[in-house]
Structure 1
Amino acid sequence: MTNPCIICVAITGSVAQKSDNPAVPVTVTEQVESTHAAYQAGASIAHCHVRNDDGSPSSDPVRFALLMEGIRKHCPDMIVQFSTGGRSGAGQERGGMLPLRPDMASLTVGSNNFPTRVYENPPDLVDWLAGRMLEYGIKPEIEAFDLSHIFQAAAMAQDGRLKQPLYVQFVMGVKNAMPVDKDVFDFYIQTLKRLAPDAQWCGAGVGAGQIRINEWSIAAGGHTRTGLEDNIRLDRYTLASSNAALVARAADLCAKYDRPVATPKQARTILGLEE
């Protein structure tokens, strides 16, 4: 294969704490430094959450603005992707940072179970978030935690609520949601190609499933996500020393399957993003 593979780094998320792994970046300064190292290792998309000073999740637009400013200063061509996930806020608070006009933002188009609660994405909120992304020229990354989310994203693209072509990320390995299962993974690809032939896709695995999803995605010609948000370990006994270490592991898999690691410029072209 010669098609470049986009590596997304999910730098911090809303759950992992320094008590879990000291490498988890919490402050904006730490996140910028960690993102820069991951950028140098081959990541072309930074998936961004922000935290309060005590490490708890936040949707504060001021913190998002500072983080985006730092990434664009130190990683000038990297794609900045904000999270609108439900752990960081409620209702329209989840999209309060979208007027900052990041390159991309995550969008989950349906609800599903998380380890201890329901991850709620009611239709009216999904439509509101999608509308704001259209308004501000932000490309959504559809986070598909379930097969139904692929169907819903395709329907939203057909009726104009989402701009085509789609970019869909298969999220596998969340407890009580879709497990890391190769047959399901293959069916996801098949279904997306049938419903949205022009779509690009990415695979993200949680915990021990991260490296498996990385390899399956790269081998199948898709893109992939890694980072300390999803997984804090290199193996069962070894904590990851940094986001860059996880990106480097994904880049090694790209070499194994003769996939060049996409530069940020190539990633922008693949995703149809303006320079």
Structure 2
Amino acid sequence: MALKNKDPAMPLTPSRDVFITCAVTGAGDTTGRSDKVPVTPRQIADACLEANAEGAAVVHIHVRDPQTGKAARHPDLYAEVVEYIRESGQDMVLNLTAGMGGDLTLGSPDSPLPPAEKGTDMVGAEERLEHVAKLLPEICTLDCGTMNFGEGDYIMVNTPSMLLAMARGMQALGIRPEIEAFDTGHILLARWLQSQGVLDDPIMIQLCMGIPWGAPDDLTTFMAMRQAVPADWTVSAFSIGRNQLPYVGLAVAGGCHVRVGLEDNIWLGKGQLATNGDLVAQARKTIEGTGARLLSPAEVREKLKLQKRWA
């Protein structure tokens, strides 16, 4: 089946109303490189509050083992973070990752099977959504494809059947998926999911640039990714590392919303470690410097037709 944009030749125009997503901690091995990366549920919640106070309407949340700082996915850890945020009274849109549980680390190149126990965490669609079903955030992520991720023998695994099952689960819960596209084929897979009736309008997608071995973050590749997205989808974009902050302006110029945060970059400038609040504040300056306006959490909910489940 051919999947085409409704109007692939439509010119892109800069964004005039922009929301910021702050990805506050992620699952990567960053805690050893910066003491500003939040680890405990309280620290992660406080990072969300800080980012929100600086202008982030949406907070994207992973959790970590409080003892080791390593990536985790236990529902009780998510529950602690969400409880702290909701008790604070600050208004923000909650976006919980659903990417954990698709981790496959093969054995050595000479003996790839069986998979290595360390680094492998493969569970079913229902278990990957367990914390989402329990806490009912407005948004959760859907990593729309399988890819090599970094070095070694690790593979991020998201098969079409797994994505179809997870998208159906999110749809049944009334939660908006944020599609994470790390390469051009992931956009095609997302459009296939739309054709299966499991993605409700308005569809939102995050263009994740510069992650090895996905789409590089050069301008040509970004524009190819951007033009591949259907015209009526809501698009956000970011790059990792040193190009995170320059990508704020590029995203706005390309008609996108913006993501920053310590999941993707730990530096504010050369030799200067950032906090999540620092990165959001800098992004806000760039966005407002273009003449664009920041959207509030309430405006994001209206734009994306989100269901807020808490006062």
Runs of 4+ in 1 over 6 A off after TM superposition: none
Q: Distance in 1 between matches of 2:201 and 2:304?
A: 10
**1:2 to 1:171, Cα distance in 2 relative to 1, 3 A:** closer
5+ unaligned residues in a row in structure 1: which ranges?
A: none
Structure 1 partner of 2:108: none
Are 1:123 and 2:137 counterparts?
no
3-state SS in 1 of match to 2:17? coil
Q: What is the Cα deviation at residue 153 of structure 1?
A: 0.9
Question: Matched residues in 2 for 1:75 and 1:217: separation?
Answer: 30
Gaps of 5+ in 2: 1-13, 104-120
Contact kept? 1:82, 1:105, Cα under 8 Å: yes
The answer to whether structure 1 residue 255 and structure 2 residue 288 are counterparts is: yes
| C-alpha distance in 1 between matches for 2:307 and 2:141 | 18
Match of 2:192 in 1: 155
* Further displaced range: 1-10 or 58-67: 1-10
- SS, match of residue 47 in structure 1: strand
Greater share of helix: 1
2:149 to 106, 109, 114: 114
CA contact (8 A) 2:73 2:100 kept: no
Kept after mapping to 2: 8 A contact 1:5/1:221 = no
Distance (whole Å) between structure 2 residues aligned to residue 2 and residue 121 of structure 1: 31
TM-score (norm 2): 0.83
Provide the residue aligned with 1:102 in structure 2.
Answer: 137
The TM-score normalised by the length of structure 1 is 0.93
* Among candidates 60, 67, 85, match of residue 81 of structure 2: 67
Question: Offset at 1:215?
Answer: 1.5
1:8 aligns with 2:21: yes
The two structures, once aligned, show a CA RMSD in angstroms of 1.7
Whole-angstrom CA distance in 2 between matches of 1:64 and 1:260: 31
Residue identity in the other structure for 2:295: A
Corresponding residue SS for 1:198 = coil
- Matched letter for residue 65 of structure 1: A
State how far apart, in whole Å, the 2-side matches of 1:40 and 1:182 are: 31
What do the CA deviations read for 1:162-206 (whole angstroms, capped 9, x no partner)? Answer: 1122101000111222111111111222221xxx32210000211
Deviation at 1:274, TM superposition (A): 3.0
2:177 matched to 1:140? Answer: yes
Q: Corresponding residue for 1:48?
A: 61
Residue correspondences, number = 271
Aligned equivalents of 1:19 and 1:102: distance in 2?
A: 29
1:230 to 258, 264, 283: 264
Could you say if the C-alpha distance between residues 217 and 2 of structure 1 is closer, same or farther in structure 2, counting changes exceeding 3 Å? Answer: closer
Deviation string, structure 1 residues 31-66 (Cα, Å, up to 9, x no partner): 111111110100011100011122111111111111
Residue in structure 2 matching 1:199, options 208, 215, 233: 233
Over residues 134-159 of structure 1, what are the superposed CA-to-partner deviations in whole Å (9 max), with x where a residue is unaligned? 11111000000011111111121122
Task: Verify: 1:268 aligned to 2:308, yes or no.
Answer: no
Superposed displacement of residue 75, structure 1: 5.1
CA distance in 1 between partners of 2:246 and 2:190 (Å): 25
1:68 partner SS: helix
Task: Choose the corresponding residue for 2:215, options 172, 178, 181.
Answer: 178
Tell me which structure has the larger Cα radius of gyration: 2
The 8 Å contact of residues 204 and 226 in structure 1, kept in 2 or not, is answered as yes
| Greater CA drift, 113-122 or 5-14 | 113-122
SS in 1 for 2:288: helix
Shift of 1:85: 1.4
Give the SS at the match of 2:224: helix
Offset at residue 102 of structure 1 (A): 0.9
* Residues 90/265 of structure 1: CA separation in 2 closer, same or farther (3 Å cut): same
In the aligned structure 2, how far is the partner of 1:47 from the partner of 1:75?
A: 18
Which one is further off, 22-31 or 95-104? 95-104
